């Protein structure tokens, strides 16, 4: 028996064998047809172009699916924990890292299996952790490293996004019961303010269950306290399948029910100069549709040669 890699030393791949291609043609076609299997519909566009500034249109349905799954599981299998609030965290996995085409973008209409992969890129499993209010704040503080510290007095443009903290580590909650503000003028660790659960300030000692994925629960991104020791249960299902099942059961996603909740906003601050970020050009209407009305497109070409536009966010609004 001989085994060789399909990839060669120069990183190119060996040429496809026509005989094999012919043999698997039917299976290949069936696979393509399979990933286009509809699982439901959406009446709005789910995209991540403005996830960094508060557009939750590609995130809320993931959090809803994870929350529903976790709540159901806890009720059935962990009755002692059933009285705790259940939240969910997720992040935009596709946020322009590989260029202006590298965003989640699911068109209104039929939603198929391949769209679910666009909404949930990684093959993670759903994990649920139990954390205190203080630990929840620490989690969100670490997520907020996504932003540079903004000096309100500076008149020159300031970049909002810290590229050293990738978008997949910018976890957010999207729940009408949970709210917080991110004050980007404060240093890391002091940015999460006005954190409330059902309208009341979160008690640092109160407990929450949070649905997330195995990567985060087991220490990915090195979030404080999350190193496997907070895991209450590791589901046998992966997050994407949980999402697919949720869309199947919901049938039609609507903007009102599945794409409009904003748990977080920037703490209002007037800046002397513009606060800027980069995203794909010509997408401003999507921000507006998602209720993000404090963004403007400054330049369709940000001048850095990768096809991104320059946008500004008005932190005073």
The yes or no reply on residue 156 touching another protein (CB under 8 A) is: no
What length is written for the chain? 317
Among 3, 4, 11, 27, binds another protein (CB under 8 A): 11
Provide, rounded to whole angstroms, the least separation between the CB of residue 122 and another protein.
Answer: 7
Considering the rule CB under 8 A, would residue 13 count as an interface residue with another protein?
Answer: yes
Per CB under 8 A, contacts with another protein among 232-271 are 234, 238
Residue 162 exposed, middle or buried by CB count within 10 Å (0-12, 13-18, 19+): middle
Based on the shown chain and the rule CB under 8 A, indicate whether residue 227 belongs to the binding site for another protein.
Answer: yes
Cβ distance to another protein smaller for residue 161 or 286: 161
The whole-angstrom separation of Cα 222 and Cα 266 is 24
Helix-strand-coil percent breakdown of the chain, rounded to 5?
A: 30, 25, 45
Stretch that binds another protein, among 56-64, 67-75, 210-218, 301-309 (CB under 8 A): 210-218
Q: How far is it, in rounded angstroms, from Cα 132 to Cα 271? A: 34
Residue 125 engages another protein in binding (rule: CB under 8 A): yes
For residue 284, the minimal CB distance to another protein (Å) is 29
Q: How near is the Cβ of 112 to another protein at its closest, in Å?
A: 21
* 157 belongs to the binding site for another protein (CB under 8 A): no
Q: Considering only the stretches 52-60, 119-127, 157-165, 296-304, report the one whose residues sit in contact with another protein under the rule CB under 8 A.
A: 119-127
Side-chain half-sphere exposure of 274, counting CA atoms within 13 A? 14
Sequence-distant (≥ 6) Cβ neighbours of residue 239 within 8 angstroms: 62, 65, 66, 120, 122, 124, 125, 126, 213
294 binds another protein (CB under 8 A): no
Q: Could you say whether residue 133 binds another protein (CB under 8 A)?
A: no
The order of strands in the sheet holding 207-213 is 86-88, 207-213, 125-132, 231-238
CA atoms within a 13 Å half-sphere pointing along the CA-CB vector of 135: 18
Note whether 284 and 49 are within 8 A (CB).
no
Give, in order, the Cα–Cα distances in Å from 16 to each of 12, 31, 42: 12, 18, 38
Q: Is 101 in the site for another protein (CB under 8 A)?
A: no
Among 115, 124, 174, 258, the residue binding another protein under the rule CB under 8 A is 124
Our CB check for another protein shows the closer of 44 and 208 to be 208
Tokens of 121: 């890129």
Contact 103, 51 (CB under 8 A): no
Question: Given candidates 166, 273, 291, 307, which one binds another protein under the rule CB under 8 A?
Answer: 166
If one asks whether residue 7 binds another protein (CB under 8 A), the answer comes out as yes
Please give the residue ranges that form the binding site for another protein (CB under 8 A).
7, 11, 13, 122-125, 166, 168, 214-215, 218-220, 222, 225, 227-229, 234, 238
């Amino acid at each position: 028996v001989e085994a060789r890699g399909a990839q060669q030393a120069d990183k190119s791949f060996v040429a496809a064998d026509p005989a094999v291609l012919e043999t698997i043609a039917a299976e290949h076609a069936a696979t393509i047809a399979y990933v286009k299997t509809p699982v439901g519909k959406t009446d709005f566009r789910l995209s991540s172009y403005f996830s960094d500034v508060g557009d939750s249109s590609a995130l809320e349905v993931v959090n809803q699916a994870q929350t529903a799954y976790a709540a159901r599981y806890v009720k059935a299998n962990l009755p002692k924990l059933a009285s705790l609030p259940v939240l969910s965290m997720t992040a935009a996995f596709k946020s322009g890292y590989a260029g202006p085409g590298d965003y989640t973008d699911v068109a209104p209409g039929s939603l198929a299996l391949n769209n679910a992969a666009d909404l949930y890129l990684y093959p993670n499993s759903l994990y649920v952790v139990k954390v205190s209010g203080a630990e929840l704040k620490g989690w969100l503080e670490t997520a907020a490293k996504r932003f540079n510290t903004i000096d309100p007095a500076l008149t020159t443009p300031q970049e909002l996004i810290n590229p050293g903290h990738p978008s997949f580590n910018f976890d957010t909650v999207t729940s009408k019961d949970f709210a917080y503000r991110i004050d980007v003028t404060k240093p890391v660790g002091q940015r999460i303010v006005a954190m409330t659960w059902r309208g009341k300030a979160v008690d640092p000692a109160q407990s929450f269950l949070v649905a997330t994925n195995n990567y985060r629960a087991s220490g990915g991104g090195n979030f404080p306290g999350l190193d496997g020791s907070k895991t209450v249960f590791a589901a046998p299902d992966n997050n994407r399948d949980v999402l697919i099942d949720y869309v199947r059961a919901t049938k039609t996603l609507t903007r009102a029910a599945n794409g409009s909740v904003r748990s977080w906003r920037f703490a209002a601050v007037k800046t002397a100069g513009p606060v800027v970020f980069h995203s794909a050009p010509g997408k401003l209407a999507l921000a507006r549709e998602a209720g993000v009305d404090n963004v403007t497109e400054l330049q369709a070409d940000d001048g850095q040669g990768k096809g991104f536009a320059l946008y500004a966010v008005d932190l005073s609004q």
